[in-house]
Amino acid sequence: MNFMEWYNTLEKPDWTPEPAFIGLMWQILYPIILVTFVFVFIQAFRGKLPKIVALPFAINLVANLVFTPIQFGLRNLSLAALDIFVVWGTIIWMIAAIWKYYRSIALAQIPYLAWVSVATVLQLMISWMNF
């Protein structure tokens, strides 16, 4: 069965957003992520920002990118839950790390943090309900 058929067989909380809504949220967030992350990486590369400040952005990028293959490729709910915790935690770390240097970049992460907070609770509930 394909990944959507598999996902549809999982038990989910009643408040689970429709897949189309989830996709829409990521379509809104990915441009914000792209612009802010590229800015941070360029500033770190140019020496205008300590490279350590870019570290949570790099970890977050990797964790975000591997979530879908873990969740829908491996179909490993527990590992996906662990991964989304990394995504969520690194967003908080990113905001704290960049705040001193570029508050606008920190504030731009707030919608990302809000959505990933919802997604984290959802993932934990789905993982628990299907354990």
DSSP-assigned states of every residue in 72-113 = III--HHHHHHHHHHHHHHHHHHHHHHHTT-HHHHHHTHHHH
pTM over 0.85: yes
Question: What contacts 119, CB < 8 A, 6 or more positions away?
Answer: 22, 84
3-state secondary structure of 78: helix
> Which residue ranges make up each domain of the chain?
20-129
The pLDDT of residue 1 is 85
Taking only the tens of pLDDT, the chain with its 131 residues reads: 899 899 999 999 999 999 899 999 999 999 999 999 999 999 999 999 999 999 999 999 999 999 999 999 999 999 999 999 999 999 999 999 999 999 999 999 999 999 999 999 999 999 999 99
